Amino acid sequence: MRAAMRLTLFDLDNTLLSGDSDYEWGQYLIDRGVLDRDEYEARNNVFYEQYKAGKLDIHEYLQFALGALARHTPEELEGWLEAFMETRIRPMIGPKAVELVARHAESGDLCAVVTATNSFVTAPIAREFGIPNLIATEPEREGRRFTGRVAGTPCFREGKIVRVTAWLESLGQPIGQFEASTFYSDSLNDLPLLNLVKHPVAVDPDDALAAEAARRGWPVISLR
């Protein structure tokens, strides 16, 4: 098989999706009564604000978020995930995002979702977009059950470079071999990976990324 000559990476939350899947998963479990609203909602909101401000301690957050997975059986989690996809995620998928992904896939690009949100939540979302490769934060498992801990490097900030580099090396296609490399993101937190690719694109960016994109002449698009 001929190696792809173009690499296209997509952030997920507030980029391909018009919302944040990690935050919404927590809120969905609260609304179902799975998580205690008084205990969980305020902390979920604080972590989300820290993320948007570029000040999130990813290890502290993952201890909080992945702990929710560890308390329940795989069967319970899978059942909730199906309903979560239908009620929370599909309404956040707009036609412009679908068209963008399809255009790159039809061009023969090597495409991947690169997201800080854990792979349990995001795997079905990547499949919904038809993107075959997912690089996400990996929750640790013992057997089929989650432990509440993270496995390996969280896919966040500089960790996205670590994870993408390892994935490309496993394919025998280091990033420097591609004619073009593109990363679409909305977030200040993704500056490390945006700086690595040849074609960074800001998508409905937060204020900090919008300012950086303007300063550096990066293209800015909207998928809303």
11 is catalytic: yes
Helix (H) or strand (E) holding 160: helix 158-170
Read off the amino acid at residue 73: T
Question: Which residues sit opposite 93 in a β-bridge?
Answer: 17
Q: Which position has the token pair 């909305």?
A: 186
20 is catalytic: no
Coil, strand, or helix at residue 116?
A: strand
Question: Which residues sit opposite 139 in a β-bridge?
Answer: 150
Coil, strand, or helix at residue 133?
A: strand
Q: CA-based Rg of the chain, rounded to a whole angstrom?
A: 17
Q: Which of 11, 109, 186, 206 is catalytic?
A: 11
Q: Which position has the token pair 């200040």?
A: 188
Quote the tokens at residue 130: 């038809």
Read off the amino acid at residue 79: G
Active site residues: 11, 13
